[in-house]
Chains A and B, each alone.
Chain A
Amino acid sequence: MATSLIKVEKLKKQFENEEFVTKILHGLDFEIDKGEFVSIMGPSGSGKSTLMHILGFLDKLTTGKFIFEGQDVSQLEDDQLAEMRSKKIGFVFQSFNLLNRASALENVMLPLLYTNISKVERIKRATELLEKVGLGHRLDHSPNKLSGGEKQRVAIARALVNDPEVIFADEPTGNLDSKSGLQVMKILQDLNEDGNTVILVTHEKYTAEHAKRIIKIVDGLIVDDHDVSKRQWANTNGELTK
């Protein structure tokens, strides 16, 4: 049997300062396989974002085990974390986090700046991905000339550019109108259909149900973990493909 992509055992996380110890995650156990589409769902303050940060190599766990592709990655140094992010992870943020000074193409190319990929190849890959998310005609546009939905699609292209093992989407529809949100969910579903592993973090049940599986977290504990029985399909009536 193949090893799972992500496996955590007794994962705990606490933040400390001089006065307080704040316990966020109280011991989580789960596995996520390659090709899954998982929603991590929970109210704000539940610890779902912290969990995403740990799984996305942005943060370190306090105790427990984190196995990624069969390797124990529980105790990596900062530079090793950066390398994992560079090679294995793609992020889509609620607030897009695009650089307004740079064009859409440059934004998508950004993660490749920190790899050994040649400039020609970077431009080629970024262009292809922008075409894939339906923005082939917007390559030279600055993000502040794009609509919210278009921005998030640029961000998705950026998340894909380093060919990651896992795509993390942190409330990707949170700042979007329902139509743009739908477009974004459609892209994520299409990506998953193509074999990509997608982990969605959200507090909305409806959005969460676009995934195949929901892990529900309340107060730092998993309270529910099951496959979605009635899955939502984002239908954009083919608008994206124009």
Chain B
Amino acid sequence: MNIIENVTSSWEIISRSKARSFLTMLGIIIGVMAVIIVMSVGAGAQSLILNQVKSVGSNLVGVLPGASEEDGPPATVLGIIVTTLKYDDGKAILKDGCDCIESLTMYVSGNETINLDDVTVNTTFTGTTASYLDVEDTNVVHGRFFSEDEERGVARVVVLGDEVREKLFGDQEAIGRRIRIKKTNFTVIGLMKKRGISGFQNQDDQVFVPISTAQKLLLGIDHVNMIRAKVDFPENIDRAVEDMESILRDRHDLNFGDENDFTVRSMAQGLDALSSITDALKFFLVAIASIALIVGGFGIMNIMLANVQERTREIGLRKAVGAKSSYIVTQFLIESVVITFLGGVIGIVLGILISILVAKIAQFMGYKWDLVITFGSILLGSGVSIGIGLLFGIIPARRASKLNAIEALRYE
């Protein structure tokens, strides 16, 4: 009896007891499905997170005040206020840094209530420079952004994010109107383009004021929270980072061997760190899904053992009519493998369908969710299911082949 006949005969056996075969397969179906869905949803979620970060711009280099370990978070992230980074530091980088730094902006921010007559809105204000539009790659739809003179001259002008405009003015004309931020009158000079959520922040729910205004009138500080530079080509990022570090070290009078009192991070580095976190998460999820697969394998072993018990007489008969032990082993092994393989195929199909569904739903909800189904996950799913069939099929198959024909025939 050759392999093909063996497979077709076990197929017949399986298809004759559909309900039991299906229950046997269920563990494998769920396991394989889980592996594929987890890998796909994991990759999709990863793409979503990375897309969020990339939407800020992947050729940006940021400077945060405060030292940091190579891979640890900068001090400001931990809530420590460091005041060493100044407006002039940013200007110096732009002036003395390499030409690869196309533009540079600086940020301070805080939360404040804004009044227009009776309407009060609590929102984030961002003090920034005129070059904000270049660096963040955005624009105003009405009016204008503030100028460099206004940036330096503590001008009381404000540019509104789309959501803030909606809340304050609704359908009314906003340009030229006055609003109050922290008891100071500001003139609305521009309205920002609608940008949505990017970099985990709702870009439309904020207002922009010149950095000097924010520092002096709203916050009472003279440092900046962040400097962000846009580099012309991704290849130049390392050079830009080096330049920025040496300029800042020089300006902060740091001696050789002193630690930086600031942190320069490129978006690429951030992406790397983020990728390694999401990779670890994916791995973790796959490990959990694999447990489901192994449980499924034990289920198969259990049912195959019961199967051997139930078919004791059949095994005795097969032996009596001339089947060698090796044929019996092969028969039962092939049966387990066919069952698991079938379960694997069903699991793969269901896994892919559900992954597609998840991606469609996420995309429908407006997320930048990529549908990622790798050949690797399918290979893993089917390979593992066949492996489990073999592994967990061996014990029942050996037990079957060791049965004594005479005793097996007498078995009731």
Contacts and interface: CB of A to CB of B under 8 A. Distances in A.
Interface of A: 53, 58-59, 78-79, 82-83, 85-87, 91, 93, 97, 99, 101, 110-111, 113-115, 119, 158, 162
A91 B322 contact: no
Nearest to B322: A86
Interface footprint category on B: 20 to 34
A97 B316 CA distance: 9
Contacts of B287: none
B405 A58 contact: yes
A131 B366 CA distance: 72
Contacts of A113: 1, 5, 9, 323
Contact of B5 (A97, A99, A115, A119): A119
Given A58-B405, A114-B1, A119-B5, A158 B321 contact: yes
A97 B321 CA distance: 11
12 contacts: A58-B405, A58-B406, A82-B325, A85-B319, A85-B321, A91-B320, A93-B409, A97-B317, A99-B314, A101-B13, A114-B318, A162-B322
Contacts of B319: 82, 85
B117 to A, nearest CB: 86
A86 B321 contact: yes
Given A53-B406, A59-B406, A101-B16, A83 B324 contact: yes
A87 B324 CA distance: 12
A119 B1 CA distance: 10
B313 interface: yes
A79 B326 CA distance: 9
B22 interface: no
B325 A111 contact: no
Q: Which of A59, A101, A113 has the most CB of B within 10 A?
A: A113
Main secondary structure of the interface of A (DSSP, over half): helix
A82 B322 contact: yes
Contacts of B316: 97
Interface in B1-39: 1, 5, 9, 13, 16-17
Contacts of B326: 79
A28 to B, nearest CB: 18
A91 B13 contact: no
A112 to B, nearest CB: 9
Nearest to A85: B322
B327 interface: yes
Nearest to B331: A113
A208 to B, nearest CB: 22
Contacts of B321: 85-86, 91, 110-111, 114, 158, 162
Contacts of B405: 58
A162 B316 CA distance: 18
A78 B9 CA distance: 25
A129 B5 CA distance: 23
A114 B327 contact: yes
B318 A58 contact: no
Given A78-B325, A82-B319, 17 more contacts: A53-B406, A58-B405, A82-B323, A82-B324, A85-B319, A85-B320, A87-B322, A91-B320, A93-B409, A97-B316, A97-B320, A101-B13, A113-B323, A114-B321, A114-B322, A114-B323, A115-B322
Contacts of A83: 322, 324
Contacts of A99: 314, 317
- When A and B form their complex, which 6 residue pairs have the shortest distance between CB atoms, in order from nearest? A86-B322, A111-B321, A82-B324, A114-B322, A85-B322, A97-B317
A93 B5 CA distance: 27
Contacts of A87: 322
A2 B56 CA distance: 100
A59 B316 CA distance: 13
Interface in B301-329: 313-314, 316-327
B206 to A, nearest CB: 72
A73 B320 CA distance: 17
